[in-house]
Structure 1
């Protein structure tokens, strides 16, 4: 099995990149011959701007941009999609949101035609979401931020396309949080392709 790990952080020394690396290590430690690819959106200079060409594609009046086609091919090759990202303003960074805006196109991730009927096209794709927050668990619970994130990301994006969110985890700030997060990320990687039951970690440190 093959995983595509998408990372959205400009600093390769960040905890976000460390979590992605430990998650990938967990995949290789699963003793099942699984593989992974890391898509570092910042290092690869992916353009997240939704342009006139993207609008034309959405309206089925344009051609598929080459960079979008390349990202879709990456996902098509994967048996699981993993997103690792810092929480910016209680959501994902603009770079990652722009990647979704441009890559999850009408006609590929879903079909929405003139008859206003929605066809979800990513039902075969398991998704694993790993967010890194800068606030503690109490802040997220008190304001309902994590629930709001799950609504807009897990349901609003991936359920809309039919993709099954298997892991939805938020690593919060806390004492010695970096060490705990790296260990937890490795555990997520080891269990990434476990098909018995649904694994969902919420508010995990």
Structure 2
């Protein structure tokens, strides 16, 4: 299986990077092909610009080609101000574009052009998970990213994992989170 992992965190020493390493090691350990797109490391330009021509840049075409080849797509990113990092939002705005990821059909419906792919999202945040759950934020995050991005384009969601209190828990708790991720990835992608 061909996996595309889209990673959005600027700190290579972050817990999100440990999540990235866990996901990649788990998938490669099962013989899967994995391509990682570290949006900060590649210097992705997140700004959608109108050039009047409607043509995709080479940067966008490269990302779209990687998506087209992928059987599964995983997003790994922190929640900042109750949303995804701007660089990831810009990636989605530019890469998951009309005519590539979706289009309107003659009946007024939406053609989901990325059907047949699986999608997993893994998030971290500083707020305790119980608080996000109780105020509806966890549900909102799932709706905006899983439903609003993946499912809108036809990508079948196989999970959306959220981990709270990441900056304040101890290393034992973080190791347990990584083990949960390892088990989930291993069970989802045989």
1:110, 1:120 within 8 Å by CA — same for their partners in 2?
yes
Aligned to 1:28: 28
SS state at 2:6 partner: strand
- 1:84 shift after superposition: 0.3
Q: TM (normalized to structure 2)?
A: 0.91
Deviation per residue, 1:152-181 (Å, 9 max, x gap): 111112221111111111012245432122
Quick check: 1:103 aligned with 2:124?
no
SS state at 1:81 partner: strand
Deviation per residue, 1:61-92 (Å, 9 max, x gap): 52121110000011111110000000111121
* Alignment partners' CA distance in 1, 2:117 and 2:98: 16
Structure 1 unaligned runs (5+)?
A: 195-205
1:25, 1:189 within 8 Å by CA — same for their partners in 2?
no
* Alignment partners' CA distance in 2, 1:123 and 1:131: 23
* Alignment partners' CA distance in 2, 1:28 and 1:71: 21
Corresponding pairs, count: 186
- 1:23 shift after superposition: 0.9
1:3, 1:35 within 8 Å by CA — same for their partners in 2?
yes
How much is the aligned-residue C-alpha RMSD, in angstroms? 1.7
Q: TM (normalized to structure 1)?
A: 0.84
Aligned to 1:138: 130
SS state at 2:35 partner: strand
SS state at 1:85 partner: strand
**Counterparts in 2 of 1:128-167, with a 5 A limit?**
128-167=120-159
Structure 2 unaligned runs (5+)?
A: none
* Alignment partners' CA distance in 1, 2:188 and 2:63: 21
* Alignment partners' CA distance in 2, 1:73 and 1:155: 23
Quick check: 1:112 aligned with 2:104?
yes
